[in-house]
């Protein structure tokens, strides 16, 4: 009888460690105490022999930069020497091609200013008939004419054919670069045709240089002093009476 009681107590002790059928696994999990997991470190991703199983996002970024650097180094080493076959000697533009065309690029990035085109041309190299036609061309060009080449034109001030100044025309209103360049070309052709037209020669009109004077005043170190009497024409100044000084009489 005593042995039967001991066996019954042992079976009850075993049942106390088992989960009842009425208790679910989720409820049992919620009743347990949660413990915070330690943060993963680089040692957790390393084998005992020193090999790493994975890298962090920063490590992958460094590897990507190294791959990109190696890619361009291979291009410099193996591809760029092959470009020597396409090398051409520099040939100065012929007199029939006096235009200097300038464009802007952002290295493949989209930008509204990429469609802009700028043309600079010396007036002396345009097909104008005579000096009167050149004078009329300068009048029609207006503020686009300057006696010196623009700084961003790529033309040096020491080059020839600059005795009559330069004309700069820009356009960025049309959606395509070729359309803007075509508009500049057509505008320049109309200016040349109208300048060679002998009906209205405008030989008695002087050049309007107010834009040049304003540019000089705005430049650094110029135009900071106020106007004085020496800046006025001498014929506009009033004539000062001359006071004669008589010699002192001796007594």
pLDDT higher than 50, residue 245: yes
pLDDT of 176-208, one tens digit each?
Answer: 999 999 999 999 999 999 999 888 888 888 888
Average pLDDT over residues 198-226: 77
pLDDT higher than 90, residue 145: yes
Tell me the C-alpha distance between 187 and 170, whole Å: 11
Could you name the CATH architecture of 100-217?
Answer: 2-Layer Sandwich (3.30)
- In Å, how far are 48, 91, 167 from 148, measured between CA atoms? 75, 24, 9
Chain centroid offset of residue 46 CA: 47
Residue 168: its H or E element: strand 166-171
The tokens 């075509």 sit on which residue? 182
pLDDT of 146-156, one tens digit each?
Answer: 998 888 887 87
Write down the pLDDT at residue 38: 61
Q: Where in the chain are the domains?
A: 100-217
Write down the pLDDT at residue 36: 60
pLDDT of 76-120, one tens digit each?
Answer: 999 999 999 999 898 877 777 888 888 988 888 889 899 999 999
Question: Is the Cβ–Cβ distance between 84 and 136 less than 8 Å?
Answer: no
Burial of 102 (0-12, 13-18, 19+ CB in 10 A): middle
Write down the pLDDT at residue 107: 81
Q: Which two tokens stand for residue 225?
A: 């002093």
Tell me the C-alpha distance between 156 and 158, whole Å: 5
pLDDT of 8-61, one tens digit each?
Answer: 565 555 544 455 544 455 554 555 555 665 665 655 555 556 555 677 888 889
Chain centroid offset of residue 111 CA: 9
């Amino acid at each position: 009888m005593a042995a039967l009681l001991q066996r019954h107590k042992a079976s009850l002790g075993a049942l106390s460690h088992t989960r009842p059928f009425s208790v679910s696994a989720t409820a049992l999990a919620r009743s347990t105490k949660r413990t915070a997991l330690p943060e993963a470190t680089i040692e957790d991703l390393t084998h005992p022999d020193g090999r790493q199983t994975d890298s962090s996002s920063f490590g992958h970024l460094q590897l990507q930069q190294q791959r990109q650097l190696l890619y361009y180094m291979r291009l410099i080493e193996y591809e760029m020497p092959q470009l020597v076959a396409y090398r051409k000697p520099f040939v100065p533009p012929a007199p029939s091609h006096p235009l200097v065309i300038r464009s802007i690029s952002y290295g493949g990035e989209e930008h509204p200013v990429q469609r802009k085109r700028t043309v600079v041309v010396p007036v002396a190299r345009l097909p104008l008939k005579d000096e009167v036609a050149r004078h009329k061309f300068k009048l029609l060009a207006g503020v686009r004419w300057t006696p010196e080449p623009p700084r961003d034109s790529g033309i040096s001030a020491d080059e020839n054919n600059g005795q009559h100044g330069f004309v700069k025309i820009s356009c960025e209103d049309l959606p395509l670069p070729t359309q803007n360049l075509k508009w500049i070309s057509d505008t320049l052709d109309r200016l040349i045709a109208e300048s060679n037209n002998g009906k209205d020669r405008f030989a008695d009109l002087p050049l309007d240089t107010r834009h040049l004077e304003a540019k000089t005043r705005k430049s650094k170190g110029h135009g900071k002093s106020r106007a004085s009497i020496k800046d006025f024409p001498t014929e506009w100044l009033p004539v000062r009476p001359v006071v004669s000084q008589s010699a002192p009489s001796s007594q």
